[in-house]
Amino acid sequence: MMRRGTPTLTSLSRSLAMLEAVIADGGARSVAALARELGVPAATAHRQIHSLVEQGYLARHGGGGHVAGPRLLALLGQLDEKQVIANAAAPVLHQLAADLGCVVQLGTLDGDMVTYRIKTGQGAGNLFTRVGMQHEAYCSGIGKVLLAHLPEDQQQTYLAGGPFPALTARTITDARALAAELHKVSEQGHAIDDGEVADGLICVAVPVHQPDGRVLAAVSISQSGAAVHPPAVLMPRLQAVAAEIERAAFGRTFR
């Protein structure tokens, strides 16, 4: 009798291994062949696969093979482009936040608002964002990065859609000034928000690039009060993290 220090659902693990094996070869192999490869009895393999088929995670296919079923595809659909980035980024950002003792966030542009999809870490008292929350784009570091990498026509539309109310004395409220700022952000590859969204809140942000060059997400580090780290220190860390996210999400980076 195995004493289990950490409870592990072993039958679940076995079934998932079978699922992966089925998906891995694109549905060509017979069940018996898979059973041999994984070293499980044929009857067990049949039961596992049959069960996965019944529940819609796999589907029978042509002669004996199996392919991904509707529920697996539905799962895939939920993890849309942006969510894929967020999921890949989560552990990386968590680590960064722990290292720096700062708040680290990831946001995407949905409509003309920034959706904050990840927020981790401690230390920025007057930072009001929460996961799932949406906020104006024109005044935050993440928002400026995302706007800066928008296609030309969409950026024009956004700029024409003002007004841009001031949240602090430093908020950029003029469309022309904002356009210039976005141009600068696009050029230098990062944005700095120095008290534009809340007094004393400083934040640096960089884009996460898609394989096709689009920018669907941006990550930022926020600090309030006495800044612990100067931007010059944070920027290379943030750049490295963005590259790491791209590798995790797409297998390579694009710079």
Site for DNA in 56-95 (CB under 7 A): 64
Cα–Cα dist 147/158, whole Å: 8
Residue 31 in the binding site for DNA (CB under 7 A): yes
Q: Where do runs of H (alpha helix) occur along 25-170?
A: 31-38, 42-54, 70-78, 81-100, 141-148, 152-160
CB under 5 to 8 A by kind: which of a copy of itself, DNA, none does 86 bind? a copy of itself
Residue 228 in the binding site for a copy of itself (CB under 8 A): no
Site residues for a copy of itself, window 158-197 (CB under 8 A)? none
Please choose, from the candidates 134, 135, 103, the residue with its C-alpha nearest in 3D space to the C-alpha of residue 119: 103
At 154, which amino acid appears?
Q
Q: How far is residue 31 from each of residues 11, 26, 58, 91, 241, measured CA to CA in Å?
A: 18, 13, 13, 36, 42
Which part of the chain contacts DNA (CB under 7 A), choosing from 28-36, 92-100, 181-189, 227-235? 28-36
* C-beta closer to a copy of itself: residue 145 or 192: 145
Residue 150 token pair: 């928008």
Least gap, CB of 51 to DNA (angstroms)? 8
CB under 5 to 8 A by kind: which of a copy of itself, DNA, none does 83 bind? a copy of itself
Residue 111 in the binding site for a copy of itself (CB under 8 A): yes
Q: What pairs with residue 119 in β-bridges?
A: 105
Which part of the chain contacts a copy of itself (CB under 8 A), choosing from 81-89, 139-147, 218-226, 236-244? 81-89
Q: By three-state DSSP, how is residue 24 classified?
A: helix
CB under 5 to 8 A by kind: which of a copy of itself, DNA, none does 54 bind? a copy of itself
* C-beta closer to a copy of itself: residue 42 or 195: 42
Least gap, CB of 246 to DNA (angstroms)? 30
SS (H, E, C) 113-155: EEEEEEEECCCCCCCCCCCCCEEECCCCHHHHHHHHCCCHHHH
Among residues 42, 159, 175, 248, which is the contact residue for DNA, using CB under 7 A? 42
- Are the C-beta atoms of 145 and 206 separated by less than 8 Å? yes
Radius of gyration of the chain (CA): 23
* C-beta closer to DNA: residue 16 or 84: 16
* C-beta closer to DNA: residue 25 or 80: 25
Q: List interacting residues with DNA (CB under 7 A).
A: 1-2, 6-12, 14-15, 30-33, 40-44, 46-48, 50, 64
